[in-house]
Amino acid sequence: GIATVITNWSGGFLLPALMLIMVTSLILGMGMPCTPAYIVAITIGGPALVALGVNLLPAHLFVFFFSILAEVTPPVCIPAYCAASIAGAKPLQTGFEAFKMAIVAFTIPYIFVFNQALLFKGGVIETVSLLLVILIFVVFLSAAVTGYFIKHISLLMRAVMLLAAAAGVVLCTHRELVALPSTFVAAVLVTLAFLAWVYLRKPRQSPAA
């Protein structure tokens, strides 16, 4: 059936299968309410995820997350269009702004599929460490997307913070790494270094006319 097709297209690897199911959930969520979209998407993709070794809870939550996020995914993002109508703004531009503001949420389902400590299926220290690392990379990713981190930041700094956020996402998916105390200490030190660099860096003075 469809689960076999998804498994074949993904080559038996979990990450490509998750991406295929994400796209399916987003497309279904654009055309119908969240609950029916979730039911249809989990019927299509759930068996494939279970066959690839994903437990039932993260499999269902993964599909449900993206069925909801379809509401802020262009080109069909009805809540954003309604907000644009109220604010007198351009609908499509508002939709892309909503997508940009929600981009962090697109990373969370991947984390709890690969690392179920986010669903409190693990030790207390492991879960707390993961949550703190997630908090740090969420701040970095938000700053990279918005261009603001205490104050406005340059394109170069945004690119660096985007790479740091991507490294944080990859780190969070490896349960054995994020549980190490050294990982959390390193993440905190990197964050403090960024804070110091941005806060203490003097703005360039414009040359006198």
Q: Evaluate whether residue 10 is within a structural domain.
A: yes
56 within a domain of the structure (yes/no) = yes
Does any domain span residue 209?
no
Same domain for 162 and 190: yes
pTM value > 0.75? yes
Q: Determine, yes or no, domain membership for 206.
A: no
Q: Which domain holds residue 5?
A: 1-114
Choice among 35-49, 64-78, 99-113, 116-130 with the minimum mean pLDDT: 116-130
104 HSE (CA, 13 A, CB side): 16
> Are 129 and 71 contained in the same domain?
no
What are the b/e assignments for 152-183, b being 16+ CB within 10 Å?
A: ebeeebbebbeebbeebbebbbeeeebbeeeb
Reply yes or no on whether the pLDDT at 124 is more than 70.
Answer: yes
Tally of structural domains, the chain? 2
* pLDDT-based confidence at residue 109 (cuts at 50, 70, 90): very high
In a domain, 6, yes or no: yes
Determine the average pLDDT of the residues in 32-59: 89
Q: Please report the pLDDT score of residue 206 as a whole number.
A: 45
In a domain, 169, yes or no: yes
My answer on whether 153 and 59 are in the same domain is: no
- 33, HSE (Cβ side, Cα atoms, 13 Å): 2
Q: What is the mean pLDDT of the chain?
A: 83
